[in-house]
Structure 1
Amino acid sequence: MAEQILSFKEMCARFDVTPRTLRYYEYIELLEPRKDGRSRLYGPREIARMTLILRGRRFGFSLEEIRQWLLLYDAKGTREQYQVWIGMADRQLKELERQRDELDAAIRDLRRLRDETEATLQSQP
C-alpha cells in the first residue's frame, strides 16, 4: 500500500482548517511537514498528528498541552504517553462536567425567567 502524502492545500481541505491555522501549527512545532522546495508535504505521521490535535482541541485541551503530550511519544514512548493521557482526560472530564452543570443552571434560570415574563405579559390587559 502506498504511503499517503498530502499537499498543503489537501491538508487544509481534509481537516477543514485555514491555511493560517495549518501554518501556525507548524510554527509552534505541532506539525513538521517534509519540504520539497517551497512545497510542504504531509505524510502519515503528520496526518495522524493533525487528527490528534483537532480531537484534543474539540475536548478543550490547549495547544501547549497537546504539544507536550505529542512530544512524550518521541521522548518516552507509547506507555508513558497513554499514562499522561489518562490523567489529562480525567482532569478535562471534570472541567467539562463543571461547565455542563453551569450551563444546566443557566438554562433553568433563563427558562424560569422567560416563563415568568410570559405569564406577566399574558396577565396584562
Structure 2
Amino acid sequence: MISDGARTYSISELSRMFEVTPRTIRFYEQEGLLEPQRRGQTRVYHDKDRVRLKLTLRGKRLGFSLAEIREVIELYDALPDGNARQLRRLLELLAEKRTNLQRQEEDIRLMRRELDDVEGRCREALEALPENTEG
C-alpha cells in the first residue's frame, strides 16, 4: 500500500513478508509491540511497525521474552539518546541469554553423562542375564 507518499502495509502483506499468521501480528499488537493505524476495521501498518515486527521476531528467535523485547523497543522510542540506551540494554540482555545458554549446555553435558552411565549399566545387566530370558 502507498498512502501519502509513505509506504504502508496490510496485515496480509506483513504476514507474507515475515511468514507469520495474521493472528500472530494481532497478538503482538495486543501486547503493545505494534501500533497500526485504523481505517474503519482495517489495520494500516507503517514502516515503523514493519521494523518492530522484524525486531520482535528476531528477539523471539533469540529467546527474549515479549517484556524484554518491549523494553528495548520502548527505550528506543522514548528517549532522545534511545539508540545508545537501547544498545546498552540489549547488550545486557544478550549477556544474560549467553550465561543462561552456557548453564543449559553444562546441564545437558551432565545429563548425557548420566544417560551414558545408566545405559552402560543396563547393557551390562542385560548381558549378565541368561540368553533365554529375553522376551
Give TM-score scaled by structure 1 length: 0.83
**Two-structure CA RMSD over aligned residues (Å):** 2.1
Gapped runs of 5+ residues in structure 2? Answer: none
Task: State the structure with bigger RCO (CA 8 A, min sep 6), 1 or 2.
Answer: 1
**Looking at CA atoms only, which structure, 1 or 2, has the larger radius of gyration?**
2
Please tell me whether residue 68 in structure 1 is matched to residue 71 in structure 2: yes
Which has the higher mean CA deviation after the structures are superposed, 82-91 or 3-12?
3-12
Please tell me whether residue 45 in structure 1 is matched to residue 48 in structure 2: yes
Which has the higher mean CA deviation after the structures are superposed, 54-63 or 5-14?
5-14
C-alpha displacement of 1:4? 5.0
Please name the residue that 2:21 is paired with: 18
Instruction: Map 1:71-90 onto structure 2 (within 5 A).
Output: 71-76=74-79, 77-90=82-95
1:114 and 1:41 mapped to 2: Cα distance? 58
Please name the residue that 2:32 is paired with: 29
Give TM-score scaled by structure 2 length: 0.78
- The secondary structure found in structure 1 opposite 2:93 is helix
C-alpha displacement of 1:92? 1.6
Q: Give the share of equivalent positions with the same residue, in percent.
A: 35
Task: State which of 109, 120, 124 in structure 1 corresponds to 2:125.
Answer: 120
Gapped runs of 5+ residues in structure 1? Answer: none
